[in-house]
Amino acid sequence: MEAVKQVRAYDRIYINGKWVESGTSEKLQVIDSTSEEVMGVVPDATVEDVNAAVAAAKSAFEAWSQTTVEERSEYLSKIAAKLAERKAEIAAVIAAEVGMPLPLATSVQAGLPVAMMNYYAKLIKEYQFEERIGNSLVVKEPVGVVGCITPWNFPLHQIVCKVAPALAAGCSIVLKPSEVAPLTAFILAEIIDEVGLPAGVFNLVPGRGVPVGEAIAAHPDVDMVSFTGSTRAGRRISELAAQTVKRVALELGGKSANIILDDADFERAVRSGVSNCYFNSGQTCSAWTRMLVPKAKMQDAVRIAKEAAEKFTLGDPREGKAKLGPLVSDVQRERVRTYIRKGIEEGATLVTGGPEPPEGLQKGYFVKPTVFADVRCDMTIAQEEIFGPVLCIIPYEDEDDAVRIANSTIYGLAGAVWSADVERAKRVARRLRTGQVDINGGSFNMTAPFGGYKQSGHGREMGKYGLEEYLEIKSMQF
């Protein structure tokens, strides 16, 4: 925790293997979500900085793309080892930036990036980059210069989900982390510099979506953009990228449905649903924010959800005692409280929580863990992504009605189905228009593809599918 008590001041950006001055003296302040004090400062980069980073990446690409699988694997392994060495520091930074309780930040926010780097280091040594089909040799080659634009809710994990497979594929990178939580991107850049990755292969350009993110998306020498964030921003990325017909991978919003069928272990399903919804204070795009229950069991669901929600204590995430920390910013806190008020106005039943500040927490961007019952599909809180600890319980008539409700939003990122009959659960899961479905609490699998249908985006991250996002396919006929 000592690592985040002092202000981390970065006055340079990382381009072409060197820490260089930005084209502006403007700075971005990083705010501790619990103390509401400045915990870090980074440069607010410019379009000119983006141009320099892209030029460096383009220059480095040819040599990097021709390196052997073994060379690239070794670099990834070295980066993973250094990330592991700084795991406690990374967890402390993210607990302060984002608000995830320190024990979870250690295992998830700091642990997953290490595992992901090691996974791709191993995968590329096993992956078949060439295949004979008749008289053709089909080869998979790196797509080129990749612009990575990442969010604040899992700041380092989401970076590594792009950087690790892109490097493994042989691509060069220009990274723009979220301006809200950019500090671990600088730690990663320090590590990449330390292990001696060739100059220009990785470049870090912090800044706001406008102008930095837009400059990356529009740049003619960027061959691909991989973006994780809001659906609104994803639409804008697509518009800009279309001008140069570059490849775009998008992982956007979600409004995931948790379908609890009438034969499920109801107590377990409801309690697990609440925990999933509140993970990372609800700041998770794949969170099961809509709990669909049989109409006849509505009151049971409400009782169990209320008991479960009220056990989610609020407090300083760095102390490791509370189950929920604050939201990431004042803007996000007010957004979530506005949705809670909207739910009340539109007639949903407030079971627990609410928009009022929690007692005893004068500082920090805290929101009470909230549960709504009797939510209708046409309500705002049932359709729009809230990104906070807010659960909507929605009744359904029968299995077909549950599927209809689950598929009734613009999103299709994740979901869940609970049933005593696994085959029945799988049958329902196949009907959901969504990229991932957990059956009876199936655990997270980082080697499985992650991504969405509909306006939750396109493309997949993680596993071999994540690697293939960064590969072009060429056939050579003999």
| Residue 280 Cα distances to 104, 128, 294, 324, 451, angstroms | 9, 37, 28, 7, 19
Single-letter amino acid code for the residue at 84: A
Q: Are strands 438-439 and 415-418 parallel, antiparallel or unpaired?
A: parallel
- Give all strands (DSSP E) within 252-363, no chain letters: 257-260, 290-294, 349-352
φ, ψ at 169 (rounded to 5°): -75, -20
Q: Are strands 224-228 and 247-251 parallel, antiparallel or unpaired?
A: parallel
- Between CA 109 and CA 103 the distance in angstroms is 10
3-state SS string over 432-451?
A: CCCCCCEECCCCCCCCCCEC
Residues in the chain: 478
* Residue 116 near residue 157 (C-beta atoms within 8 A): yes
Single-letter amino acid code for the residue at 193: D
Q: What residues are annotated to the active site?
A: 251, 285
Single-letter amino acid code for the residue at 137: L
- Name which of 250, 208, 204 is nearest 230 in CA terms: 250
Strands in 136-142's sheet, in edge-to-edge order, are 130-133, 136-142, 471-477
| Residue 249 Cα distances to 150, 201, 223, 228, 450, angstroms | 12, 20, 12, 8, 12
